[in-house]
Amino acid sequence: MTEWKRSGEWLELPAPNAMWKPLKPGAIEELAALLPVPRKFFLRLASQGRIQVEGDKVNLHVFPAEEASFRPERYNLDVIYEDDFCLVVNKPAGMSVHPSEVGQSGTLASAVAYYYASTGQACEVRHIHRLDQDTTGAVLYAKNEWAHVLLDEAMRDKRIDRSYVALAEGVFRAKQGTIDEPIGKDRHHSGKRRVTPNGDQAITHYKVLRQMEKAAFVGLELETGRTHQIRVHLSYLGHPLIGDTLYGGSSRLFHRQALHGERLLFDHPITQKQIEVHATLPQDFQLLLTEVAAL
């Protein structure tokens, strides 16, 4: 990756080849070879006049001012990583990542829109993955179209590692293992999923981090991203999450599923440097862990 710097709405790069002034068709291929960007994206930039050559520099208009599609709503967002291309926030419990209906308020999308507006950033809100409404933890956003294209591709290619921690009921026979069971919709409950032979492939790796008398603190990693995957798979093993009444867990100690997206590991879409971020456990989860350990 060649060196670059941001200048307002433009990304500035050195232009080592004289053929880039004036910009010729072949320069697009050369530029595409220097940067991890799809060729179609460059062709569109060129057709829109968003590639300019000035002396020994080439400028790409990749930070245009954008208007967020979501109404900003004041919220004290927990930002755990940010640069010109990426944003990672620690999502609280009880908040949907994205609205499920027109006009829905109280979503993470609206909180991120407010954060962008309040910090003077004219960015669209582009989430790369989701968490269930009552699951806490790290959520990754792309701050411009370029980053969105590349991070979406990385997500599809399973190059973004997501690690979770959970409190699951019971004593695990195996201290670690892999659950490779297909997941599909439950015919009897529209909002529920189940293990079924006709479902989509779903793979979850787990490791018991701390086994207690009546529950286990478990670390989990996903190879796939099916709806409710961890919740369904652990329930299938006979170890539903504490608080997850939809999948057989008890709500006696906790009012929601005890699941937290603790870590994200991904290559930065532009620099290709590895980024690792950790989301702090929410206070209610920490208190639950202490309470369960004392049982």
Measure the CA–CA gap between 196 and 207, rounded to whole angstroms: 24
Q: Which residues make Cβ contacts (< 8 Å) with residue 76, sequence separation at least 6? A: none
Contact 10, 61 (CB under 8 A): yes
Q: Read out DSSP for 30-84?
A: HHHHHTT--HHHHHHHHHTT-EEEETTEEEE--------SS--------EEEE-S
Q: What is the 8-class DSSP label of residue 200?
A: B
Instruction: Examine the residue annotation and report whether 132 is marked as an active-site residue of this protein.
Output: yes
Contact 177, 193 (CB under 8 A): no
Look at residues 245, 88, 272, 82 and name the one whose alpha carbon lies nearest to residue 162. 88
If phi > 0 it is left, if psi is from -120 to 50 it is alpha, else beta; for residue 145 that is alpha
The catalytically annotated residue of 56, 83, 84, 132 is: 132
**Six token digits for residue 83:** 């640069």
Query: Where in the sequence numbering do the catalytic residues fall?
Result: 132
